[in-house]
Structure 1
């Protein structure tokens, strides 16, 4: 098996592939371009997209060139894959802003120094906005049958559940296939990678390229990554794990990885870090907490840099010391007006986003799990007063042993 595909498989990235043997031979003999598409429905990607980013990094590692397709056009439609209802349609200004923000994230993860492997960024709105509907139906639409389109899960499941599927969404798979054709023609792109829910769309693209231009292209999919609990990767009780420090602090990002379940640690070291597989094999029997810190440091360094990773580790250590105020903790701000209006401990915790359920907060308080400045708060109606803040006008708010923020009075 080709070296790229071998590592792709051993790291746990592999799910399905079209013409695997032919692709392996191609990769042995050539350096190719491969792409992954990302819809820009939010101002940032979250951890749920990290596996796809790691696939692009692996392409670079093996000398291939990644193409990042930012779906300025398809975001205007909405991908029905894995969805049980139509996405909200974003306005064009919001989509363009999202594209710029997401592009910055990729520039953090991908190496741009080597001209042969530096990422190529494309926006499919550039070609989709120019399509003539009649010409598109005659030249591209003729290659798709309704019978086959209805057989794909993204369509079939919605119809079986009697959930509405708009004609706009129904066209999404044709547009994604056309993206692959466009990149094959203009960029000589031979490979599309995507999540397992994209298999039907990717196969459509491979087939369209073969029928339209008689070129051979390939598709490769990754599995859905779940936690040992069975939960989907990417979100926690507190919300999405964003890949943008404006939306999630480096410390909170570090803590997400530090809090990985014991059963997931080795799997996540393989999937979400660049550490060599032989090295993981050597250290797999180390103390599990050491491995968790290694995972947290490597993942945080990749996104936020070595300095933030080390600061997060040091902050975590200090925060567990009873007298520490945790100088590197994420900060939330409240003003004097909120103090005067008698904000209580429950509403402060909701404001901090450490926990959003008031009933759950009451349960934690009753179990002595809430602290202010390392002192237990056991009263649900406890009021936040000025004397709780130090000379720097801050206090430390803690839920349990692992969730902490600094509250700053402005």
Structure 2
């Protein structure tokens, strides 16, 4: 059994209180009923993940952590992979329509998502969803999930075979268009010049139908999601009551935002991915090591499994001492995502780069043939682009002329400079952009 969460994580024995203590919970359809439900019985609950890429990013990771807490306290996470909803794309909180993907891409992305979930959750791999070939044909679970284990299902099972006319007659009649248009989920799309397509308008019906199907067919009692999912969750709660006569509940969680209200997890290269092939453990570590002072407490509380007393102690550090808290944060989150060994390497590499230590082997490295730097060498601006330190000559030139680039600790401000074999010591040099970006260049 995967056991990331220590037994002393909280003095509370109801997971609702634990999630509240960590600052996750934002909205609940019926707070008293939900708290009582989670305290008196072990339930199935679900979170949906549309396969918009072939990898999870740190925005997804918040939801994964919540599932880990629920599993720790004996509840059954249902990971819903959006093989059906992914064919439309969720318009919630977006200003443009998502790029459409073909079925093969969607299916492959779902498979890659499942591999990542396997790293954090213990699954009952023998459980499966069976049946359901239309809105009037209920499916069922092949077995009761093993206690303490998660299950995974793809909504393509019940969405892809649907007959559209049958669907809108059976499901669409339960939705009021006036209420849907007021939904926060559609607000940004409605306010843009392009507006909301009818195609995307169907998404709320599909997600609501997901909840009803799972409540009807294998007794899922709650849906969780980010704050931007509130309207979709309410739709599912209402539809389940109308079509099944079942009372189900919803709960949303705070999105991971910084002190300025902007989403965290964005880098110069794009999203902060959970796969080491997309974002290296070193880059992942460095992101958390360099968060703003004001965000340390929130990140420690939501992204680590340190006890709250320790979170408060670290967050109370001031001045230069807050860097100790940032090191703990970066190490703990990297350990959770990439394992203890990679977290240690990333930490040693960061300390070497910033403090002149000896563990430079853990800094991201790029190899070049020695011949590339023979004679007049390689132009500095060209090298910066090849290393990903600049996207254009103009950006590279500005960085150099503004004093933002160092080679082996010495600033270079001449944009016409070249790097030659003479710059290398023992066949390597350390190039630094700004305060946070280090790359070691090694000759072969």
User: How does the TM-score come out when normalised to structure 2?
Assistant: 0.85
Counterpart CA distance in 2 for 1:338 and 1:47 is 38
The Cα shift of 1:355 comes to 4.1
Instruction: Please show how residues 166-245 of structure 1 align to structure 2 within 5 Å.
Output: 166-245=197-276
Q: Could you tell me whether the CA contact under 8 Å between 1:312 and 1:328 is conserved in 2?
A: yes
Counterpart CA distance in 2 for 1:215 and 1:249 is 46
The Cα shift of 1:104 comes to 1.9
Distance 1:170-1:401 versus aligned 2 partners, 3 A rule:
same
- The answer on 1:13 being equivalent to 2:24 is yes
Q: Tell me the secondary structure at the aligned position of residue 407 of structure 1.
A: strand
The Cα shift of 1:378 comes to 2.1
Q: Could you tell me whether the CA contact under 8 Å between 1:251 and 1:329 is conserved in 2?
A: yes
Q: Could you tell me whether the CA contact under 8 Å between 2:348 and 2:359 is conserved in 1?
A: no
Q: Could you tell me whether the CA contact under 8 Å between 1:45 and 1:102 is conserved in 2?
A: yes
Q: Could you tell me whether the CA contact under 8 Å between 2:78 and 2:153 is conserved in 1?
A: yes
Deviates more, 1:50-59 or 1:249-258: 50-59
The Cα shift of 1:385 comes to 3.8
Counterpart CA distance in 2 for 1:240 and 1:347 is 25
Corresponding residue of 1:369: 404
Instruction: Please show how residues 304-315 of structure 1 align to structure 2 within 5 Å.
Output: 304-315=338-349
Distance 1:378-1:20 versus aligned 2 partners, 3 A rule:
same
Cα displacement string for residues 55-82 of structure 1 (whole angstroms, at most 9, x for unaligned residues):
1111112211111111111111111111
2:157 to 111, 114, 126: 126
Q: Could you tell me whether the CA contact under 8 Å between 1:238 and 1:354 is conserved in 2?
A: no
Counterpart CA distance in 2 for 1:339 and 1:102 is 42
Counterpart CA distance in 2 for 1:157 and 1:285 is 37
Corresponding residue of 2:308: 277
The Cα shift of 1:184 comes to 1.1
Distance 1:32-1:389 versus aligned 2 partners, 3 A rule:
same
Q: Could you tell me whether the CA contact under 8 Å between 2:296 and 2:315 is conserved in 1?
A: no
Distance 1:103-1:348 versus aligned 2 partners, 3 A rule:
farther
Distance 1:10-1:307 versus aligned 2 partners, 3 A rule:
same
The Cα shift of 1:338 comes to 7.0
- The answer on 1:41 being equivalent to 2:72 is no
Cα displacement string for residues 358-382 of structure 1 (whole angstroms, at most 9, x for unaligned residues):
5454343224331233333222122
Corresponding residue of 2:6: none
Counterpart CA distance in 1 for 2:152 and 2:422 is 53
Distance 1:334-1:68 versus aligned 2 partners, 3 A rule:
farther
Cα displacement string for residues 312-370 of structure 1 (whole angstroms, at most 9, x for unaligned residues):
11111112245858211123455689769975322332332334365454343224331
Counterpart CA distance in 2 for 1:358 and 1:271 is 40
Counterpart CA distance in 1 for 2:238 and 2:426 is 67
The Cα shift of 1:225 comes to 2.5
Q: Could you tell me whether the CA contact under 8 Å between 1:2 and 1:27 is conserved in 2?
A: no
Q: Tell me the secondary structure at the aligned position of residue 15 of structure 1.
A: strand
Deviates more, 1:13-22 or 1:333-342: 333-342
Alignment: residue pair count = 409
Corresponding residue of 2:415: 380
Counterpart CA distance in 2 for 1:258 and 1:198 is 30
Counterpart CA distance in 2 for 1:96 and 1:211 is 32
Counterpart CA distance in 1 for 2:169 and 2:404 is 65
Distance 1:97-1:396 versus aligned 2 partners, 3 A rule:
farther
Distance 1:252-1:215 versus aligned 2 partners, 3 A rule:
same
Counterpart CA distance in 1 for 2:256 and 2:247 is 29
The Cα shift of 1:408 comes to 4.6
- The answer on 1:22 being equivalent to 2:33 is yes
1:160 to 187, 191, 194: 191
- The answer on 1:300 being equivalent to 2:300 is no
Q: Could you tell me whether the CA contact under 8 Å between 1:371 and 1:398 is conserved in 2?
A: yes
Q: Which blocks of at least 5 consecutive residues in structure 2 are unaligned?
A: 1-11, 125-144
The Cα shift of 1:209 comes to 0.4
Q: Could you tell me whether the CA contact under 8 Å between 1:242 and 1:248 is conserved in 2?
A: yes
Q: Could you tell me whether the CA contact under 8 Å between 1:81 and 1:154 is conserved in 2?
A: yes
User: How does the TM-score come out when normalised to structure 1?
Assistant: 0.92
